[in-house]
Structure formats: structure tokens, C-alpha cells
Amino acid sequence: MRPGARVEKCSECGKCAHSGCKPMVPNFCKLTPEMAIKLVSAFEEAEKRKHAKELEEVERAEKVRRRENGEDEAAAAAVAAAAAANHQATVTDVLATAQAFQTIHLNEIAKQDIIDAAKKAQKEATAAAIAKAAASAASASAAKTTPASFNIPEAVHKNIKLQDFEFLSVLGRGAFGKVMLIEEKATKQLYAMKALKKEFIIKSDDVASAKLEKRIFQKASESQHPFLVNLHSCFQTDSRLYFVMEYVCGGDLMCHIQERKRFSQVRAKFYACEVLLALEFFHKNNIVYRDLKLDNILMCPDGHIKVADYGICKENMPYGMFTRTYCGTPDYMAPEILSQNKYTRAVDWWSFGILIYVMLVGRYPFHGDDENDILEAILNDAIEYPSNMPKDTLSLIQGLLKKDPRSRLGGGRGGADEVKRHPYFHG
């Protein structure tokens, strides 16, 4: 499961997973797809029951509030019952559709369907579309063109609450909570909902980080940026924060490159153009992203991509501003971060160079037996490039992977414009 050194492979069934994800991968070895589906369904039913219990707690609290405020409880109950009855008839069909889209689903048949759909979408991306994306990288106005994969509602919903959505399944879990696939009852639109436990956020002193993520989501959504995951709404209960985001069903680029080993020059350039415009948006809004990697780039059904996960972004970072926080994913971290020196938003261009290298070569440019060896290699080792790498591609990656941020492509005052002027994006 390359690229990446910290990956483990099952000796029985051959499935691969990142070492950090290993505890969350069920042991389905030697099970038939039918039995695996039954087990997954049982897990999802348990999650639905747990979610229903949470909803009951919210509703009880709402009833108490209504009684205290003298509101008409009977009328509210009638409205809720009507909405539930109207929705029940479609839950089965929606869940079936959602399961077919889940990229982390352990049913190999569903997984193959997703991969085949993504491959088909990529083949249908014609040379004209690729040329348009490359031209977009040379023109800031292209960022105003929104792919047809998703449309954010023009009017921001007010008084959004948990009861407005139907829980379908769990897409992933993290230290602070989980990400769920949901359906908005009023529109039948699918979304991804990130539920964060307030208790853990407070204990980990991450309140400021949660607020920052919300602000960045709002900036991306206000512009309806085509290559960033947009926000539908956010709200909270007594115990949790909720971010309702657009649901991007095509999987991340890490998933796709594991199937292909590496991407073609044309495909890699297509993705690079769109990621470049996403980074340009961040930097124009004085934000340093700091977590660019294959895992955070999601594939839309139409073949376009969206950059996700704004958890370690930093605001107020115009050109020349420094910060010192040690963060990021080791394989993508710039030397100045590893040296624990102050750094600028030029670290994003280093990560961009790593990203392009991995897409084209199928492995990371720095190697080692463990994480410490890899970090040491990033600081001290030279990069080996394939002998058949095109001249413009080689020049671009070498410019982005300058260890000195002052001479790094994109590290100057011109920022993204410097990168867009490179011949790679005009060939």
C-alpha cells in the first residue's frame, strides 16, 4: 500500500491500512461479502439506535425548555411526528445509496463500484477539460467557475437543529468524535456531519481551533470555492458541536493512488491545477493550510477534487508573517517546521511539491526505517528523481522542494502567481 512507510498489510486477506487506522479496521478475514455486509449492517443499526437515544435526550431537553417558556408542546409534537412519518418511506433507499458511496466500506463489491465510477469519470475528463484546468492555474478568474458536483444553498438556514437530519451511517471516527453520513429531511440532500465532543475539545484546549475551523469553513462557503469542501451549517447541543458539510463521495486521492500506484502526467497536472487554486485562496485570505496531503484531497463524482480538513490552519498569515507551531503530517512537513524554527506560509508550497512528486512517482521522496529517519532525511538528504521525468515537471518539483524557504518557488511576495507562471502549468 504505497506510498507511505507506515502501512500494515493483513497476511491472510491482503487488505492494507495505515498503522494509525489499524484499530478501526474490523477483522473480516475469510468472511464472504454477504456475511461482511450483514456485520456492517448490524454495526450501523447499533449506531442508529445510539443516535436515536441522543435525539431523545435532545427532545426531552427541548420539551423542558418549551414548558418553561410556555410554548405549545402539542403543536410541536405534531409537526415532529408528521416529519418523521413523511421521511420513513425513503430511509431504506437512501441508506442503500449511501452505502454504495462509502469509500471505506468493507464490502469489496461496493468498493469496486466506487473505484470503477471514479475511473470512468477520470477517463471522461477530456483534454479540453485538462487544458481548461491548466489555464485556470494561470488565471485567478478561473476560481469563480464551480464544478457541477455540488451546489451550496444560496440562503443560509436558520435555527438548524439535530432533528432536521436523518442519521444514515458512520463514515469515520476520530479522537474528538465522528463523521456521519446524514440526510436533510426537508431537501433529501446527503451531507457529512462532523460531531465533536465538547468535553474532549475543552480538555485538549482546542476551543480556539474549533472556532478557527468554523471561520475557515465560512470563508470557503461564502465564496462557494469549487475546490474546497463547503459548509452547509453548524450548530451545537449541550454536549456536542456539529459541522454539516457537503458530502464528497468519491474517496480521497490516497485511496485512488493505491489502486493505480501512480498517476499519469495528465491526471497529476489536472489535480495539481485545482489544488494550486485552493492554496491560492487560503493565502489570499492570509491563511496557511499546513496539512496538504493525499488523504485530505477528496474526489467528486465528476472527477474534480476538493481540499478538506481545516483543523490545523492558521489565520493572520500574510506574506512575511511567521509562526512556530510544530504540526502537520511528517512526510509532507517542510524542513523549517522540523527544525522547529519560525516559518511562513511557504511551508504549503513544500507540501505541494511533495504531493506532486508522490502523484507521479508513487512514493515519498524521503525514506527511512522509522519516522525519525524520515525526518532526518527531509532535513539532510537530496531527492532522487526518475530519469524519465519531463523537464518542466522536474523543474517545478525542484523549485517547490527547495530546503531554503526564501528561494522556494511560491515563497516570494508573488506567492501563487509565481507558481502559476511556471511552464509546467502552460504545457
The verdict on whether residue 203 carries a ligand-binding annotation is yes
Measured CA angle at 109 (ends 105, 110), to 5 deg: 45
Q: How far is CA 200 from CA 181, 301, 380, in A?
A: 22, 34, 38
For cell 431523545, what's the residue? 56
The yes-or-no answer on residue 291 being catalytic is yes
Nearest to 303 by CA among 262, 264, 276, 274: 274
Measured CA angle at 414 (ends 412, 418), to 5 deg: 90
**Cβ neighbours of residue 339 closer than 8 Å, sequence gap 6 or more:** 379
3-state SS assignment for residue 299 = strand
CA dihedral in degrees (341, 398, 125, 17; nearest 10)? -50
DSSP 8-state class, residue 164: G
Q: How far apart are CA 114 and CA 112, in angstroms?
A: 5
Q: How far apart are CA 231 and CA 244, in angstroms?
A: 6
| β 240-246/231-236 pair status | antiparallel
- The single residue of 252, 291, 309, 348 carrying the catalytic annotation is 291
What is the edge-to-edge ordering of all strands in the sheet holding 190-197? 165-173, 177-184, 190-197, 240-246, 231-236
| Binding region | 203
| Binding region for ATP | 203
- What are the residue numbers of the active site? 291
